[in-house]
Amino acid sequence: MIRRVCVSLFLFLLTAVAHGQVVKVQNSEFEVGTSDPVGWALTGDGEWPAAGQDGSRAIAATGDGQSTSYWRSAPLPLVPNAVYEISFLARSNSRGGGTPITGPVFSNVDLRAIGPEWTSYSSIFAAPSEVRPDEAWLRFGQWHHEGTVTYDNVQITRVEPLHSRVEDLLLGEGEEVSGNAYVFRAPIHTTSRNHSRPLARLQCGFNSDRLVFGAGSELVYRHQLGDRQQLNAALEINVGYHVSGQLDVSVSDDGDNWRPVGTQDTLGIATYRVPSDLLPAEQIWVRLQSLTDQQLGADSDPGSFQVHDYIYRAQFSGEPLVADGSTRYASVLATDPAAEVGLADVGQALPGRTDTVVLNMVNATDSDLAVHGTVTFRGADVEPTPPVDMQMMVPPGSIARYGCPTGSRGPATCRWPSSLPAMQPSRPTCLSMCPVCMPATMVRSCPNRVTTWVCGGRVQVGKWLVSEDCLIRVVER
């Protein structure tokens, strides 16, 4: 028996807002309750005012410049190792000092100064490898803030990381190659926060732009560049805060057998080399563990020590390349139990370039699944194109792969006419237009060569341009 389904997938490669697998946040708009909003509990000073964006309810936390207060959500059904986007509205009548505090308790983001008008905020976070019930909750409040911060319309969406592909390599945010040199700078200072492509295990805290370690904390990175061999490698770790305990650093070539390479029990930058007898290797694992008895608390606890920077460098084999990695985040809008669809690859995901988005479709039924649909192109400056018919036959329990071309004139829309699923990138980092104008350097990347020059005048940093067969990226000088 063959079951026929039609599916619909919308892929907007340059869209900045994601909607997708929404995680249930109880009373996320704070409308339900009598004396307090259902599903939320207040610690410290705050209120449940009728001061939402549309005049309805919101939550507020008030500080005197020396205290901390926050609203705590009911427990969340977070999936270990999954990546999420959290979005919400916020405003403040701040009189200075401190900061609003937002997000899951294990991945706090300070908002710093915010204004009196409702503003939309969002952030990416990765869930721990082991999600403990005592840390699977949201916190919205203030730390040493003088004034009142008000929040509304909280939403959490599960997202899929989309890393750029450069020839045979996947490179995410914080990764770059130049010739045969590879560098990974943990993107904790970017919108990726505690997530990155090399991340293999996460069991430590995060606070705005710092990795926080207490008793039992562990962080593992797996560094691999396709099938290229790493010939030598070293890492730098900057401990920017330390009150007690010790950072233990180990490396491995298989993720099972670990070799200690050093410890750090004071402030400063330390360098650790991967032992030569582990090289060459296709992959190198790095494990950071805390040796301390101090447990991490909930109120922006700084922990025993904090890692402010992590940098891994390696020389690798094969043809030399010059490229910067990037990561964007997509989400599935809807799904059908008969045929689950996920993104496998988005190529370089750069505007103005012919590329292919690869989709995985899983047949979850006990019958052959005949999938019919079309591929069309859509974009602000894209000429209408006739739909391209496609069809797949997916056997029971198997996975089919389909390559959807993005075209050279703009983003593609892969559309199967029915209800399966839709994906959108979430707040792209390297492809977004930066509103700040300043003198800049332009990097011109063409086949077999990369040239750099300083452009005159003031240009928009982050803008991508296409010239003949070359891609031009504007970066800050």
What is residue 277's three-state secondary structure? helix
Write down the pLDDT at residue 371.
63
Q: What is the pLDDT, as a whole number, of residue 343?
A: 62
Are 75 and 105 in contact, with CB atoms under 8 Å apart?
A: no
The answer to whether residues 300 and 108 touch, using CB atoms and an 8 Å cutoff, is: yes
- Taking alpha carbons only, the member of 430, 412, 414, 433 closest to residue 422 is 414
User: Does residue 287 fall inside a structural domain?
Assistant: yes
What pairing do the DSSP bridges indicate for beta strands 146-166 and 21-23? antiparallel
Domain membership flag for residue 432: no
Eight-class DSSP state of 11: B
State whether 103 and 39 are in the same domain: yes
pTM confidence score: 0.75
Q: How many Å apart are CA 212 and CA 203, to the nearest integer?
A: 10
Q: What is the DSSP string of 95-129?
A: -SSSEEEESBTTEEEE--S--SS-EEEEEEEEPPS
Is 290:217 a contact under the CB 8 Å cutoff?
yes
Model pLDDT, residue 139: 96
| The pLDDT value given to residue 312 | 98
Cα–Cα distance between 267 and 287 in angstroms, integer?
19
Give the CATH number for residue 267.
Answer: 2.60.120
Same-domain check for residues 305 and 417: no
267 shares a domain with 390: no
What is the reported pLDDT for 112?
78
Let me know whether 135 and 177 are in one domain. no
Does the residue 395 lie in any domain? yes
Q: How many domains does the chain have?
A: 4
Backbone CA torsion sign across 34, 37, 40, 45? negative
User: Which residues lie closer than 8 Å to 449 by C-beta, 6 or more apart?
Assistant: none
**Starting from the edge strand earliest in sequence, which strands make up the sheet with 437-446, in order?**
449-460, 437-446, 470-476, 464-467
Per the document, the length of the chain is 477
Residue 431 domain-assigned (yes or no) = no
- pLDDT tens for 261-316 read 999 999 999 999 999 999 999 999 999 999 988 777 666 678 999 999 999 999 99
Residue 353 lies in a domain: yes
Q: Which residues of the chain have pLDDT under 70?
A: 1-20, 297-300, 331-360, 370-392, 399-477
Per-residue confidence (pLDDT) for residue 26, from 0 to 100: 95
Determine phi and psi for 278, rounding to 5 degrees.
Answer: -90, -5
141/57 same-domain check: yes
CA atoms within 13 A on the CB side of 87: 15
DSSP state of 353: S
Residue 458 resides in a domain: yes
CA atoms of 463 and 360, how far apart (whole Å): 31
Residues 176 and 310 in one domain: yes
What CATH number is attached to the domain comprising 106? 2.60.120.260
User: CB of 138 within 8 A of CB of 123?
Assistant: no
Q: 49 and 10 in one domain?
A: no
Distance of CA 147 to the CA centre of its chain: 31
- Structure tokens belonging to residue 414: 């892969």
Residue 248: predicted pLDDT:
98
Q: Domain range spanning residue 270?
A: 167-323
**Residues 241/334, Cβ–Cβ less than 8 Å:** no
